[in-house]
Amino acid sequence: MRIVVALGGNALLRRGEKPDASVQIEHVRAAAEALAPLALRHQLIICHGNGPQVGMLSLESENDPALTRPYPMDVLVAQTQGMIGYWLAQCLRNAGVNRPILSLVTQTLVDSGDPAFAAPTKFVGPGYTPSQAKELADEHGWAIAADGERWRRVVPSPEPRRIIEQDSITRLLEHHAVVVCGGGGGAPVTADPAGRLTGVEAVVDKDATAALLAIAVEADRLLVLTDVPAVMAHFGTPQAAELRRLDLDELGALRFPAGSMGPKIEACRRFVATTGNTAAIGSLTDATAVLNGTAGTTLTEAVDARVRDLPEILNPTRIGGAG
């Protein structure tokens, strides 16, 4: 089976943790152990997030007195692909994956006319109090927005249109390599009419990139692995319950909060709608069970009426789960 896994950046660095290398590599080690059974039995692409990491490197660059201008987001995303790709390749190997493991630095084509450039929404870096955030925004020229009770920097998050390296990625899968790519959504680039690429100040959503990649390589499954066990109905209330199966019709009737579970569900929806194949959302630690449908939320084109479960608790306004 050919599988694309989207791995949350928060799975590699939890909120409130120091962004030390030693902290992150422990999380990567746990992630690699959870993914190793998939890597050994299937064709596997891993597309990791990088929210906390690109935020850290961005701040370091902003504060580097040797620079005239801080590094643009495309370059910082590429740096995180190097760092996290290195950790993942090393830890997968150490977890017993005795197949070639290749971490690729990849570029994601976006449209220069994407409306996202005029309305930044993607959180990068740590959270601040409103007054701290305002001060930093003035100092660095950031756009900022509220993320729960904290305020964070936001950057444009245009839609991914194509993974520049997607044909090579397919070729590598055919040769039984495990491929780490599209990290942080891929370094975002636009193309001029002659096809020449230029990096842009943006961060592509890694779940959207993973979905596009899964479609491009004709994957059998898209797994969005994070730190919550499943998509929840009545999230945050005493009636909270896992949604174990959803189909496209049911999804169409639901609304999800932007910025947390929303992009994950949207990525799965696109993959399922385009390919007719199955996607799933669940906990990284349950990776194998999520693949098998015995944990997490499985999203399909159409669920047979006899196996629908929990339809009575569906509530369009209270679906969620931390991302």
Q: Is the Cβ–Cβ distance between 221 and 291 less than 8 Å? A: yes
Q: State the Cα–Cα distance between residues 229 and 296, nearest whole angstrom.
A: 5
Q: Kindly identify the residues of this chain, within the stretch 135-194, that bind a second copy according to CB under 8 A.
A: 164-165, 167-168, 171-172, 175, 177, 187, 189
Amino acid at residue number 265: I
Q: 230: which 2 tokens?
A: 């499943």
Q: Which stretch binds a second copy (CB under 8 A): 68-76, 154-162, 230-238, 275-283?
A: 68-76
Question: If binding is defined by CB under 8 A, does position 54 make contact with a second copy?
Answer: no
Which lies closer to a second copy via its Cβ, residue 183 or residue 296?
Answer: 183
Q: State the Cα–Cα distance between residues 71 and 76, nearest whole angstrom.
A: 7
SS (H, E, C) 12-33: CCCCCCCCCHHHHHHHHHHHHH
Which lies closer to a second copy via its Cβ, residue 179 or residue 290?
Answer: 179
Question: If binding is defined by CB under 8 A, does position 287 make contact with a second copy?
Answer: no
DSSP 47: E
Question: If binding is defined by CB under 8 A, does position 58 make contact with a second copy?
Answer: no
Q: From the CB of 86, what's the least distance to a second copy, in Å?
A: 4
What residues does 45 pair with on adjacent strands?
4, 179
Verify whether residue 125 is a known catalytic residue. Answer: no
How many CA atoms are closer than 13 Å to the CA of 58, on its beta-carbon side? 25
Which lies closer to a second copy via its Cβ, residue 186 or residue 321?
Answer: 186
Question: If binding is defined by CB under 8 A, does position 199 make contact with a second copy?
Answer: yes
How many CA atoms are closer than 13 Å to the CA of 69, on its beta-carbon side? 6
Q: State the Cα–Cα distance between residues 196 and 192, nearest whole angstrom.
A: 5
Binds a second copy (CB under 8 A): choice among 14, 26, 60, 311: 60
Which lies closer to a second copy via its Cβ, residue 121 or residue 168?
Answer: 168
Which lies closer to a second copy via its Cβ, residue 189 or residue 203?
Answer: 189
Among 1, 33, 83, 48, which residue's Cα sits nearest to residue 181? 48
Q: From the CB of 78, what's the least distance to a second copy, in Å?
A: 4
Q: Which stretch binds a second copy (CB under 8 A): 17-25, 128-136, 144-152, 220-228?
A: 17-25
Q: Which residues are catalytically annotated?
A: 9-10, 122, 206, 264
